Amino acid sequence: QMQLGESGGGLVQAGGSLRLSCAASGGTFSKYVMAWFRQAPGKDREFSAAISPGGGAGLYSDSVKGRLVISRDNAKNTVYLQMDSLKPDDTAVYYCAAGRPSGGRQDLRNYDYWGHGTQVTVSS
């Protein structure tokens, strides 16, 4: 049973940056696709980014492409989300997830383990 814990959220002005981290324990981290999803107030949880078990280029939603970068360090069992040029619309609770999706990596139903989330608030 894998446990995930996010950190790094906070309040930032529009145009600013944040770096989220998600530490994993209790599982073989390097076997899992890792992803970040976000949920804004009153909205469904939506996909933001995913990265393959071995790392490499990430998969991004159109709304974050070019501004957010996902990376991972398998030696530290940690996945990161570097967030630049933040906008008020990026305000949400950000969740990391782990899975072995045979289907689409953008579908939250394909992920088995979830963290509790970290709040990101971007002021205008």
Task: Categorize the per-residue pLDDT at 102 as very low, low, confident or very high, splitting at 50, 70 and 90.
Answer: confident
> Above 80 in pLDDT, residue 81?
yes
DSSP string spanning the chain?
Answer: --EEEEE--EEEETT--EEEEEEEESS-GGGSEEEEEEE-TTS--EEEEEE-TT--S-EE-TTTTTTEEEEEETTTTEEEEEE-S--GGG-EEEEEEEE--SS-TT-GGG--EE---EEEEEE-
Phi (first) and psi of residue 38, to 5 degrees: -140, 155
> Above 90 in pLDDT, residue 73?
yes
Percent of the chain with pLDDT over 70: 100
Q: Can you tell me the mean pLDDT for 9-27?
A: 97
Query: Exposed, middle or buried by CB within 10 Å (0-12, 13-18, 19+), for 103?
Result: exposed
- 55 in Cβ contact with 71 (< 8 Å): yes
> Above 90 in pLDDT, residue 101?
no
Percent of the chain with pLDDT over 90: 94
Task: Categorize the per-residue pLDDT at 120 as very low, low, confident or very high, splitting at 50, 70 and 90.
Answer: very high
> Above 80 in pLDDT, residue 8?
yes
Q: Can you tell me the mean pLDDT for 19-36?
A: 96
> Above 90 in pLDDT, residue 27?
no
Contact residues for 118 (Cβ-Cβ < 8 A; gap 6+)? 6, 7, 8, 9, 20, 93, 94
> Above 80 in pLDDT, residue 92?
yes
